[in-house]
Structure 1
Amino acid sequence: MTQTRFGYTLMTEQSGPKDLVRHAVEAERRGFDLEVCSDHYFPWLTAQGHAPYAWSVLGAVAHATERVGLMTYVTCPTVRYHPAVVAQKAATLQLLADGRFTLGLGSGENLNEHVVGEGWPTVDTRQAMLAEAMQVIRMLLTGELVDHHGDYFDVASARIWDLPEQGVEFAVAVGGEQAVELLAPLADHLVTTEPSTDLIESWNSTVGAPQIGTAARAIGQIPICWDPDREAAVARAHDQFRWFAGGWSVNADLPTTSGFAAASKFVRPEDVAEQIPCGPDLDAIVEAVRPYWEAGFTDVALVQVGGDHQDAFLEQCAEPLLEKLRAAAP
């Protein structure tokens, strides 16, 4: 089994594009193995204050970095983007990244997808749309001329002209057995934000799914709020990340920042601190991350809460934290 890899999250909801690129370069210099990038049109809460276009950011990051793996975490290829456009973007980014890019895909959140006015399908329909979109993207990444008339998408005489020799691997976000059964055989890697052993076992027992731990990776993500002052960290996590307490069934369906503000109105700072490690204690962060590698995850990306606190985190915390994580992880 290979060493657990640790990632840094380029969270587009809390930093502008130039800062994100600068943070990406510094995160690579400090020793992170991969960098995952959210793909949002809206922040979760107004206090976060940003939402630049992830694909432009990643193109700049690909050019500015040399070693670190890159990934969308995650892109929805069904409503705001047509899968034919996602295929072209992914191929171009892989060329810029010299093979370091993984296309992370998911069924999306109403928060971002509502902006094009096409409505918000039920979860079963969203998953079926995602499955068809993944198949369309696969076809286009062969470089062949594609005509496709499916249940949800039409593609008319489309071809991707600039293709990376190594192709583009897919990582798909799933949260239950039904999604795993449908999507795992279409993907190369698993994405999920819960350290679930059951989910990995379900994936590995699905016919046609690449096996996590050998052929496939399981890529998780966890928010942290490092700060020399624990009270300041708790206050910041509550201000910017209290939406996190809602759970995915809520987070996927609310359409606006005001909706998230209302839904999280009664979430207390101490409630957030129970879910997110806050303050200067690096050992507490390691213990919060531990369930991921114990569940069989191969990769864990950290989200440092607070766009204005990335520089201090990268300068003061990143290297000693990575040292502790690597010492503890298999």
Structure 2
Amino acid sequence: MTIIGFHASHEQVHPRQLLDAVIRAEAAGFQAAMCSDHFAPWSERQGHSAFAWSWLGAALQATSLRLGVVNAPGQRYHPAIIAQAAATLSAMYPDRFWAALGSGEAANEHITGGGWPSKAVRNARLEESVDVMRRLLAGEEVSTDGEIRVDRARLWTRPDTPPPLLAAAVSPATAAWAAGWADGLATVAQAPDDLRRMIDAYRGAGGSGPLVLQVHISYAGTDDAALAIAHDQWRTNVFSPPVCWDLDTPEAFDEAAKHVTPDDMHSTVLISSDPAWHAEKLAGFFDLGFDEIYLHHVGVEQSEFVDVFGDRVLPQFAGRAEAGA
């Protein structure tokens, strides 16, 4: 399986424009899509953060694409509610929805006023959340009293086939830990050796299912313009854990990023005006073993990126897709 999909960034684009973008992406040849699920953007410059689940219903209706979402059950969302939402989408659009579940970030979860737990507690909460969701999707009535409390919950509308629940991980340790419960692994682009360690940790711990990669890209007519877009929109996203987990407001991210230079952006974003260069980088990710790659153009304007990549990048992978199928 070789899939190139479109990543819809709710933090940067109005949901109506983002819906137009995913429709355009399907027409351009993108084979699937996924989206973020944030309550707040990473920076005040980004300026948006719409409700992902409303948008997912619209996007599934407006396209024929498979769609996924990265979600953090357990604090901002009760897992029973996410199970209900996932069940409804999967019942309406069979075999077209998946979710990658992670332990969350303070920027989104602090709104509940419940504090920000340690990583160990967040992982325990996530594992309990996944168990609750799987039991509900299987038709059980669920009651629990641990990190997650549930009182006689039952899903009355369920799909014939439960949606895949992948693990969202950014480190080998988390990938190995999640292998016991995940239907696949979703992560973000890093150095090839780091990604190889991530895959080895997940597979080595018995992890099965697809390997999904989100890749941040900045494309424009010139290299300088592409670099300027990346620095303007994505410089608050260069920080490694635990900083990116623990900062809790867009203002805090903007303050932390004051000294991030344009050259620093190359560590997290593929930046070039050359579609062939981008295609070569994507081929390298597939060679590592990833099955699905979702491209996130970090600029606000998506049309040029979608059209150019649809015309000059995606066709280079048509043979891979046919071989995988």
- 1:291 and 1:69 map into 2 onto residues whose CA distance is 24
- 2:67 and 2:123 map into 1 onto residues whose CA distance is 24
Structural mapping, 1:254-273, within 5 Å: 254-273=247-266
Please point out which of 174, 179, 187 is paired with 2:174. Answer: 179
- 1:7 and 1:133 map into 2 onto residues whose CA distance is 27
- 1:80-120 superposed Cα distances (whole Å, 9 cap, x missing partner): 00111110011011123222001111111111111111111
Counterpart in the other structure of 1:227: 220
Counterpart in the other structure of 2:56: 58
- 1:169 and 1:274 map into 2 onto residues whose CA distance is 31
Counterpart in the other structure of 1:288: 281
Structural mapping, 1:230-241, within 5 Å: 230-241=223-234
Specify the SS of the correspondent of 2:71: coil
Counterpart in the other structure of 1:31: 29
Alignment partner of 1:71 is 2:102: no
Structure 1 range deviating more: 178-187 or 79-88: 178-187
| Residues 231, 262 of structure 2: 8 Å contact kept | yes
Counterpart in the other structure of 1:213: none
Superposition deviation, residue 327 in structure 1: 5.8
- 1:54-92 superposed Cα distances (whole Å, 9 cap, x missing partner): 0000010011112x21100x1000110011111001101
Letter in 1 for 2:16: K
Superposition deviation, residue 282 in structure 1: 0.8
Aligned positions, number: 318
Counterpart in the other structure of 1:202: 201
Q: Gapped runs of 5+ residues in structure 2?
A: none
Specify the SS of the correspondent of 2:30: coil
Change in 2 beyond 3 A, CA 1:231/1:29? same
| Residues 147, 158 of structure 1: 8 Å contact kept | yes
TM-score, length of structure 1 as denominator length: 0.91
TM-score, length of structure 2 as denominator length: 0.93
Counterpart in the other structure of 1:43: 41
- 2:22 and 2:204 map into 1 onto residues whose CA distance is 36
Superposition deviation, residue 248 in structure 1: 3.3
Structural mapping, 1:163-178, within 5 Å: 163-178=158-173
Superposition deviation, residue 156 in structure 1: 0.7
Change in 2 beyond 3 A, CA 1:274/1:205? closer
Please point out which of 311, 319, 322 is paired with 1:319. Answer: 311
Structure 1 range deviating more: 240-249 or 161-170: 240-249
Q: Gapped runs of 5+ residues in structure 1?
A: 211-215
- 1:319 and 1:100 map into 2 onto residues whose CA distance is 25
Superposition deviation, residue 300 in structure 1: 0.9
Superposition deviation, residue 328 in structure 1: 7.7
Counterpart in the other structure of 2:149: 154
Instruction: Supply the RMSD in Å over aligned alpha carbons.
Output: 1.8
- 1:274 and 1:133 map into 2 onto residues whose CA distance is 33
Superposition deviation, residue 236 in structure 1: 1.3
| Residues 42, 237 of structure 2: 8 Å contact kept | no
Counterpart in the other structure of 1:188: 183
- 1:37 and 1:171 map into 2 onto residues whose CA distance is 14
Structure 1 range deviating more: 120-129 or 52-61: 120-129
Structure 1 range deviating more: 273-282 or 253-262: 273-282
Q: Runs in 1 of length 4+ with deviation above 4 angstroms?
A: 325-330
Structural mapping, 1:273-284, within 5 Å: 273=266, 275-284=268-277
Percent identity between matched residues is 35
Structural mapping, 1:70-89, within 5 Å: 70-72=67-69, 74-89=70-85
